[in-house]
Every structure is written in structure tokens, then in C-alpha cells.
Amino acid sequence: MTSITIIKPDDWHLHFRDGDMLRETVPATARCFERAIVMPNLVPPVVNAKMALEYKGRILDAVPAGHSFDPLMTLYLTNDTTEQDIVDAKAAGIPAAKLYPAGATTNSSAAVKELEAMYPVFEKMAQEGMLLLVHGEVTDHHVDIFDREKVFIDQKLTAIVSRFPELKVVFEHITTGDAAAFVAEASDNVAATITPQHLMLNRNDLLVGGVRPHNFCLPVLKRNTHQEALRQAVKSGSPKFFLGTDSAPHAKEAKENACGCAGCYSAWGAIELYAQVFEELDALDKLEGFASTHGPDFYGLARNKDTITLVREEWTIPDEIILPDGRPIVPFHAGHVVHWKLAS
Ligand SMILES: NC(=O)N[C@@H](CC(=O)O)C(=O)O
């Protein structure tokens, strides 16, 4: 096959950041995605409809002329979130709220410390038809970082989905066979996003031969058996799994650091890298479902009308990109050859 045309995809999980950075991140995503679920972990976090709509305005200001792009905003849940915050957000067109266990990842210290105390908010979300997007890791110090997703399923997520069967839950950026199995066996109200890095890499790619800070993200890459389980999940064509890059930019100096930040900036090669994975799996016929239809169907939104075409052409992801503030950033898979290219 030398070209593939699919319904224009959406990215159901990413981090644009704010300010100057939007002039880099928004065009990089709008080049091939029509919509994106925009994570709210700014400083300060996006905790109400007013902040989300103001942030949306700043994102729209950064969309290049001639591109259509629709940012779908999210609310950052805290133990101060009220049921009225949910009602107001839904009325403002905000489709989802994000649950970060406090301390789990970048800018999550203000997030949820008492998960069970959120149950009235989850109840209101179920009533309002607002989706719950979950960063699924426990944060207890005694739990090994490689086990944190599995322990979250056992201790937290199983209880949430059984108590709120009407609540639509997206288990974000899953990294384990345990998570893929949990989602596959759960009701139709439970789905998951999967990133390019968790399909392409495993923890050897993080640690063998030296630490690779640009492959460090959270939840952290797991062993190869988990990577294989995720690959089989997308190959299955199940509508419960869809595209969410978790593109999460941090400047080079913040990644190549004694205490490096978690996050892979994958927007530059996202759809192309997914195409490469699906081709390796001999499942290119499943790419459109994963990238373009499972997500909107789960969210209850219309599928996009436009299409994109990927052509078989080799190109190399740049070693570095210069951010609008002059600092370099290293994109995910920098310096590697990619075999599919977005036709202009
Ligand atoms: N994925 C990451 O490693 N980092 C994300 C936060 C998150 O989604 O965990 C970020 O905001 O940098």
C-alpha cells in the first residue's frame, strides 16, 4: 500500500500548555487533527468553566489561518470541585473532567487527595452526561512505580465503575495488559486512550544503555509483555480503544535534567507513528477506527467530515525544535526515520 485515506482524526488526550507555547503546540496538532481533548493541568489548573473558556480562546487565537480546529476543553477536578461546577461546565459545552490523583504527574499537586469524597461530583457528572477522564495511578510511596496502574484498577477504578454504571469513563494513556483487559471486560461506558510511545516502546527503551529522558512519561513505560498487550488491543479493532497522544511538551533543559520532567512531545509525528505501528501489526485497516471513529462515537459527537491522506514516504523527525521563547525542545522519536507522511 502506498497511500491511505482516513476520516480526519481527533486527538482525545493532549497537553497544549499556555502562553507562548501555544504558537508551537496548537499548529503542530491542527496540521492533522480536527479536535483535541485539552488537558487542564496548567499552573494554576483549569478548575471552572470560566477558566476553561478563557483558555479555549487563547488556543483558538493560535490556530493557523486556513485550519479548522476545535479544542474540546476539560475541567481539572479537585476536592473543592462542586456539583454546581459540573453543571456550569456542562452548560458551557465542556464535555469532560479530568481526575488526577494528587501528586501522580506534572502539575497535579492541587488535584484529588480524597478520591471517595469525589463521589457526589461523579454522580452529578453521570447525570449531566459529562465524561470522567482518569489518570489511573495510585501515588502511595510504598507502591512500586511499575505497579501503580494495576493497583489503581484494583483499589479505585473497579469501585468507581461499579458504583457509577451510567458514568462514561476514559482510562487515559493505559500502559499495561491489566488495563487493556479491564477495559475490554468492562461495560460499554468504559474506554481507553493509548499513546504512540506505549505502542512503540517498553521500559528497555527508557533504561537500557543509559537513561533516555525523552522516552520518560507517566505512566512510565512498562515491560515488553504489556507493550504487546496494548498492541493486540488496538489490533483487535475494539471500539473501546482510541487515539490519545498525551503529547506533553517540556523544554529540552527540563527533560535533560537531574530531575527530568515526564512527558513526550509527540505532536510532530503522531498520526504517522500510529500508522507505522498499525502497519507493523498488519492492521492498517483498523487505523481509521482507532484514530477517527471510536473516539467521537464514545463521546457522543459527530464524526469528522473531512479526510486526511498518508503517503508512504520517508522523512526524519527533527532533532530539535525551537520554541517561541527561543528554548529548544526535543520531539518524541527525534532523529528517527518515519515511513508514513501526511500528504499536504
Ligand atoms: N504524560 C506525562 O508524562 N506528562 C503529562 C501529564 C500526564 O498526562 O501524566 C504532562 O503534563 O507533562
Q: Is 105 in the pocket of ligand 1 (CB under 6 A)?
A: yes
On the 0-12 / 13-18 / 19+ scale of CB atoms within 10 A, 36 is buried
Q: Is 25 in the pocket of ligand 1 (CB under 6 A)?
A: no
Amino acid 48: pLDDT: 98
Amino acid 62: pLDDT: 98
Q: Are 50 and 84 spatial neighbours (Cβ–Cβ below 8 Å)? A: no
Q: Are 78 and 112 spatial neighbours (Cβ–Cβ below 8 Å)? A: yes
Q: Is 17 in the pocket of ligand 1 (CB under 6 A)?
A: no
Decide which of 1.20.810.10, 1.10.10.10, 3.20.20.140, 1.10.357.10 is the CATH code for 11-303: 3.20.20.140
Whether residue 45 has a cis bond before it, omega within 30° of 0: no
CA 207: distance to chain centroid? Answer: 23
* Residue 69 is assigned to a ligand binding site: no
**Segments of the chain assigned E as strands:** 3-7, 11-14, 35-38, 70-76, 96-99, 131-134, 169-171, 190-194, 241-243, 307-316, 321-322, 328-329, 337-342
- The tens digit of pLDDT for each residue in 285-296 reads 999 999 999 999
CA distances from 330 to 31, 68, 155, 206, 267 (A): 19, 27, 36, 15, 11
How is residue 38 written as a grid cell?
Answer: 485539552
Amino acid 57: pLDDT: 98
- The tens digit of pLDDT for each residue in 245-267 reads 999 999 999 999 999 999 999 99
Q: Are 33 and 286 spatial neighbours (Cβ–Cβ below 8 Å)? A: no
- The tens digit of pLDDT for each residue in 85-127 reads 999 999 999 999 999 999 999 999 999 999 999 999 999 999 9
- What DSSP assignment string belongs to 3-49? EEEEEPP-EEEE---SGGGHHHHHHHHHTT-SEEEEP---SS---SH
Amino acid 210: pLDDT: 97
- The tens digit of pLDDT for each residue in 24-49 reads 999 999 999 999 999 999 999 999 99
* Ligand 1 site-directed mutation target among 12, 13, 14, 15, most atoms within 8 Å of CB: 15
* Residue 243 is assigned to a ligand binding site: no
How is residue 333 written as a grid cell?
Answer: 522519536
Q: Say whether 10 is catalytic.
A: no
Taking 90 as the threshold, does the pLDDT of residue 1 lie above it?
A: no
Give 180-189 contacts, CB < 8 A, sequence gap 24+.
Answer: 180/229, 180/230, 180/232, 180/233, 180/241, 181/229, 182/153, 182/157, 182/158, 183/233, 183/240, 183/241, 184/233, 184/236, 184/238, 184/240, 186/161, 186/240, 187/161, 188/240, 189/161, 189/165
* 34 φ, ψ (degrees, to nearest 5): -85, -35
Count of Cβ atoms closer than 10 Å to residue 84 Cβ: 10
Count of Cβ atoms closer than 10 Å to residue 330 Cβ: 22
Whole-angstrom distance, CA of residue 310 vs CA of residue 322: 26
Taking 90 as the threshold, does the pLDDT of residue 276 lie above it?
A: yes
ipTM of this predicted structure: 0.96
Residues 13-19 have a mean pLDDT of 98
How is residue 319 written as a grid cell?
Answer: 532533532
Whole-angstrom distance, CA of residue 247 vs CA of residue 228: 21
Q: List the catalytic residue out of 10, 85, 178, 246.
A: 246
Amino acid 181: pLDDT: 98
On the 0-12 / 13-18 / 19+ scale of CB atoms within 10 A, 38 is buried
* Residue 13 is assigned to a ligand binding site: yes
Amino acid 344: pLDDT: 76
- The tens digit of pLDDT for each residue in 187-244 reads 999 999 999 999 999 999 999 999 999 999 999 999 999 999 999 999 999 999 999 9
Whole-angstrom distance, CA of residue 180 vs CA of residue 171: 9
Taking 90 as the threshold, does the pLDDT of residue 155 lie above it?
A: yes
* Ligand 1 site-directed mutation target among 74, 105, 195, 332, most atoms within 8 Å of CB: 105
